[in-house]
């Protein structure tokens, strides 16, 4: 049986080792390929706006602006709501033992997908991305492409990796993960979110009705 000290050591090791491995290799040499990873500095991060707009001449600058704002603010709001701590591995542990309500990677990705879908972007498409599927290292993010553009050319948006800070890069240049699209998972999660929202409306109506009697 783990002592408290052993548990803390195990969690710290689990959370820190992947970051140390990443840090010792130059960003342009990791995995033998050119890689890059960026952190958005604000809800109007100019570099990310330009990168999304540059996906295609057909991309609306307004769509790019709204996506950046929503992705950034999703991290800010959920970091506060879920009481997110550093490192992500520690937050995962807290969620799994019931000490936090959210903060697992798929929860970040689901929330972001639902919020971006609600924007109804006319010139951009949203994709559910997976890496290391069905392993302890599985990770999920949302990828944005221009309409009709291949998934591999998209920009990934990740709120989990830096504990609520928005991380982004081109799909093929991620230094830590190799991404694959799962179209059915995106559909399933959006349908589930809509179903839950439709159930909450009648409940809210009944509560208001009861309070007025």
**Tens of pLDDT, residues 61-112:** 999 999 999 999 999 999 999 999 999 999 999 999 999 999 999 999 999 9
| pLDDT surpasses 90 at 34 | no
Q: Is residue 44 part of a domain?
A: yes
Number of structural domains (the chain) is 1
Query: Dihedral of CA 182/187/189/190: which sign?
Result: positive
Q: Is residue 87 part of a domain?
A: yes
Percent of the chain with pLDDT over 90: 76
| pLDDT surpasses 90 at 192 | yes
Q: Averaged over 55-63, what is the pLDDT?
A: 98
Is pTM, for the whole model, over 0.75? yes
Q: How crowded is residue 176: how many other Cβ atoms within 10 Å of its Cβ?
A: 20
Greater confidence (31 vs 162) lies with 162
Q: Is residue 209 part of a domain?
A: no
| pLDDT surpasses 60 at 33 | no
Q: Averaged over 194-207, what is the pLDDT?
A: 71
Q: What is the pLDDT, as a whole number, of residue 199?
A: 84
Burial of 121 (0-12, 13-18, 19+ CB in 10 A): buried
Q: Is residue 10 part of a domain?
A: no
Q: Is residue 57 part of a domain?
A: yes
Cβ distance 156 to 143 under 8 Å? Answer: yes
Query: Dihedral of CA 14/168/134/94: which sign?
Result: positive
> In angstroms, rounded to a whole number, what is the distance separating the alpha carbons of residues 115 and 157?
13
What residues contact residue 135 under an 8 Å CB cut-off, 6+ apart? none
Q: Is residue 160 part of a domain?
A: yes
The residue range of the domain holding 51 is 33-182
| pLDDT surpasses 50 at 7 | no
Closest CA to 92 of 84, 103, 79, 82: 103
Q: Is residue 89 part of a domain?
A: yes
Q: Is residue 154 part of a domain?
A: yes
């Amino acid at each position: 049986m783990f002592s408290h000290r052993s548990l803390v050591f195990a969690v710290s090791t689990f959370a820190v080792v992947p970051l140390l491995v990443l840090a010792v290799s130059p960003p342009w040499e990791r995995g033998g390929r050119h890689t890059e990873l960026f952190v958005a500095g604000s809800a109007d991060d100019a570099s990310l706006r330009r990168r999304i707009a540059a996906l295609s001449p057909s991309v609306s600058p307004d769509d790019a602006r709204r996506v950046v704002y929503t992705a950034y603010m999703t991290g800010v709001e959920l970091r506060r709501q879920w009481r997110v701590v550093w490192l992500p591995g520690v937050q995962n542990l807290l969620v799994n033992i019931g000490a936090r309500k959210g903060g697992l990677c798929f929860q970040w990705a689901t929330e972001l997908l639902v919020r971006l879908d609600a924007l109804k972007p006319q010139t951009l498409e949203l994709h559910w991305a997976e890496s290391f599927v069905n392993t302890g290292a599985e990770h999920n993010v949302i990828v944005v492409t221009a309409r009709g553009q291949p998934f591999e050319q998209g920009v990934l948006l990740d709120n989990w990796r830096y504990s609520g800070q928005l991380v982004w890069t081109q799909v093929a240049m991620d230094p830590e993960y190799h991404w694959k699209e799962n179209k059915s998972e995106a559909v399933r999660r959006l349908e589930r979110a809509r179903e839950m929202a439709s159930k909450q409306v009648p409940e809210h109506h009944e509560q208001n009705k009861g309070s007025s009697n």
